[in-house]
Amino acid sequence: MTNVVEVDQKAAGLIDPELRAAIGRIARVPQLLIACDYDGTLAPIVADPTLAVPLPESVAAVRALAALPQTTVAVVSGRALRDLATLSRLPSEVHLVGSHGSEFDIGFVERLTPELVEVRTRLQVALRDIVSGQPGVRLENKPASVAVHYRTAERPVAEEVKARVAAGPATWPEVTVTHGKEVIELSVVPTHKGTAVDQLRTSLSASAVLFIGDDITDENAFANLHGPDVGVKIGPGETKAGHRVGEPIDAARLLGLLLQTRRHWLFGEAAVPIERHSMLSNGETVALVTPEAKVTWLCHPRPDSSAIFADLLGGGPAGHFAVAPERGGLPLGQRYRPGTMTVETRWSGLTVTDWLDKAPTGDAALVRRLTGNAKVGLEFAPRPEFGQVQVRLQALGDGLLVLGSNEPVALYSPGVRWEISEDGGYDTARATVDLAELDGEQLLELRFGTHSLHAHPTAAQDRQESAEQPWKDWVRGLHLPSEGRELVARSALTLKGLAHEPTGAILAAATTSLPEELGGVRNWDYRYCWLRDAAMTARALVDLGSLDEAEGFLRWVDGCVERTGGHPERLHPLYTVEGYELGAEAVIDTLPGYAGSRPVRVGNLANHQLQLDVFGPVADLLAAVADARGSVRDEEWRVLEAMVQAVERRWHEPDHGLWEARLQPRHHVYSKVMCWMTVDRALHVVRKHAGQDRPDWVALRDRIGHNVLEHGWHEEAGAYTVAYGDEEMDASSLWIGLSGLLPDDDPRFLATVLKVEADLRSGPVVYRYRWDDGLPGREGGFHICTSWLVEAYLRTGRRADAEELFEQMIATAGPTGLLPEQYDPLAERGLGNHPQAYSHLGLVRCALLLAGLLKP
């Protein structure tokens, strides 16, 4: 690989800027085919073709490219395939195509029809007669053709041979003639390099092709290139290729540059650890900011809409908004302003203050306030619809307009002189501002829903205070523990930040497709409202003393129930924030994913699963709200009745379970426990707040409870397991006790706690399960599962263990206190979507339990 690195360093200065830009674009396509000639491309032209060996730099680059995912390399040569394989000695990952596209494998000759074999024999005899006694001319017999080489012949001899071939065998109707550099090839199979490349393109479903060649025969391939394809001619002469380099070593440099660029695109350029991102929120949408003040994630107008910045999943080309000192250097630190969702990033001489404002138009506005005395570099690269829509930037007096989006977008940036450059059909604006010349402050305001570049009537400092005050007031009203007060407050703010105020929905997480395994396929879209996750989130906030989010969510649930037309058992597990069904799950194959973790998904197939556990957390939340408020509202009674009705109709069915495994439905222990909890909490509400009893509900609850206690226990495992009759453990089986179905001192609950600890705990984490869920790879430990074990320890008298595990859990949080879904204890880094409601609600509940502010 040393040769490749050396080539990359040279390439930046030696490759034409337009060709370098073309390589940058083609390196980012989902499925890339790289095809090239052999002689004159990978190997320099030599007098004796048997001595043509490839340049070591070319071999290193080709080998490395062929090893990349979603990348195919093919060598398409005029040589016989066996000869090509012998000379090139390239690995099997590189496709070799010989005889100008006639030979795709060594056994090709065996498939020639008897008629074609007879033509080939006549052709060999006729050409042998022509070249006999002609000095410097030789024949090369191939499986489906004969090549006449005259490179070393004197000019008169070569002209005579060419004339006799043209007048003789070249006129046969069964023969296809190909002219190359000082060679004529006559084939009994009608093909050329262009059709060979097309065949490879089709069979590999390539998004684009890079073809490099030097020969006349390569022009057929160049002629067939189209769309995003790139053709590179080596050496002089007329060509249909769009680009040119001088020598084979230049082609090696080009391949080295492509390798570096594609590797960065596929695997991410030093991806920022997930847990180090901070979230901005205004109750309407969310954004993520890196520790270096780079906005890498922002969806608009809703958090489940398409992203205008998706650098998080696609690197720089996917859209970002960067601010940093021109001199470079790492920040001194980053923090949330206390009690707010405002993030400050600090360097010496520069503080960047970021918040999401609520604009007068009703749309969100990202406000970036720069203060200090440093020179600051700015880079604004909007890429709407995850980069699927190409837009232009127009610089006006006080900012930039984003043109081409389906809604107005403007960047208010008074006094900034932007330079706009184009890259692959997208515009990027860059500028430098000297804060020392601007009285120490520069305001940048990304506005949605308007093209206005007028100054806001309210000063930036006053706007910041107005945006922050509601968050501060809300935090002051919470019942926070004295121990870890700030950490719990940050988790509470994060949970509230995931709530969508206009609808009452609550997001499971702020992002899509952050991986559960780096480089793996366990990447899901969590930007929606799961009934279960949202109810548990709202319950955590009720426990802290805030009812508004729960009341808004229950109204949202009431709307979802109403749309079932009297069939609450048909509720989906999740909905959009507006309460409607999701579209089909899809893949954005133009994004390489965080640190090369593909696919990037939008939508979620779990929308169509049966998950019978979702009713339990809703009923549990409703009971907590009723107890905290002392009353039950009309829409809440409707929701409660609907939850019980849904359970009554379907509790006995198998389902896909809490973890949404894409397998056959099973009788999951957790789902049955949640069905029991639905009816149990409903009975609590009607007895305490309506003064009634429901014998039919009592019978239903007891029937479900007896069923799960009997069938969920597994004798060989000595515990409650994942599903009826299944020996595998699952962290969710802890809910056999956490729900109250079994008392804390029941031996069966104690045994289940010990079994989960033994099978699923690893240091600071608890894994969901270790059974085969049908997906490749592995995942990290789940923070919410860790929180369940903390509570189980407390319930079973193991307070010291609970405190120790809780401390280990919170130590995995990022520098601003945020937690993603999972943690890898070996790599010591966060995994999964971020920030995750599950993780923070688990933290809040454990902190309250340990502080004695909440009873188990």
Q: In 3D, which of 33, 52, 27 has the Cα closest to residue 42?
A: 52
List, in order, residues 6 or more apart from 747 with CB less than 8 Å away.
Answer: none
How many other CB atoms are found less than 10 A from the CB of residue 13?
A: 8
Contact of 87 with 43, CB cutoff 8 Å: yes
Contact 32, 207 (CB under 8 A): yes
- How far is residue 119's CA from residue 388's CA, in Å, rounded to a whole number? 52
**CA 532 and chain centroid, separation:** 24
Phi and psi torsions of 33, nearest 5°: -110, 125
Rounded Cα distance between 414 and 576, Å, is: 37
- The 3-state DSSP class for residue 113 equals coil
**Closest to 510 (Cα-Cα) out of 287, 721, 731:** 287
Q: Which amino acid is it at 310?
A: A
**CA 315 vs CA 309, 387, 568, 759: distances in Å:** 10, 11, 42, 38
- Pairwise CA distance, residues 242 & 225, whole Å: 10
Cα separations in angstroms, 561 against 96, 642, 680: 60, 7, 20
In order, the DSSP letters of 755-782 are: HHHHHHEETTEE-SB-S--S-SS---EE
Between CA 172 and CA 115 the distance in angstroms is 14
Q: CA nearest 163: which of 140, 143, 137, 199?
A: 137
Q: How many CB atoms lie within 10 A of CB 668?
A: 29
Q: How far is CA 19 from the centre of its chain?
A: 29
Q: Which of 8, 37, 214, 680 is catalytic?
A: 37
**CB within 8 Å of 705: residues ≥ 6 apart:** 676, 741
Letter for the amino acid at 839? S
- Of 448, 419, 450, the C-alpha closest to 433 is 419
Token pair belonging to 600: 């990037």
- Beta-ladder partners of 103: 98
The C-alpha R_g of the chain, in whole angstroms, comes to 33
Tell me, yes or no, if 37 is annotated catalytic: yes
Q: Find how far residue 804's CA is from the centre of its chain.
A: 34
In sequence order, what DSSP letters do the residues of 25-91 get, joined into one string?
HHTTSSSEEEEE-TBTTTB---SSGGG----HHHHHHHHHHHTSTTEEEEEE-SS-HHHHHHHH---
- Compute the CA torsion angle 309, 315, 320, 321 (nearest 10 deg): 150
95-97 and 71-76 beta bridge pairing: parallel
695 phi/psi in degrees, rounded to 5:
-55, -35
- d(CA 128, CA 803) in angstroms, rounded, equals 90
- Angstrom CA distances, 849 to 612, 680, 750, 795, stand at 28, 22, 19, 10
Q: Angle at CA 752, nearest 5°, toward 748 and 758?
A: 145
- In degrees and rounded to multiples of 5, residue 345 shows phi and psi of -120, 130
Q: Two tokens at 764?
A: 């600071």
In the block, tokens 């793996």 appear at 520
Contact 100, 120 (CB under 8 A): no
Task: Look up residue 325 and give its two tokens.
Answer: 């000192």
- No. of helices (H) and no. of strands (E), the chain: 24, 37
Q: Which residues are catalytic?
A: 37
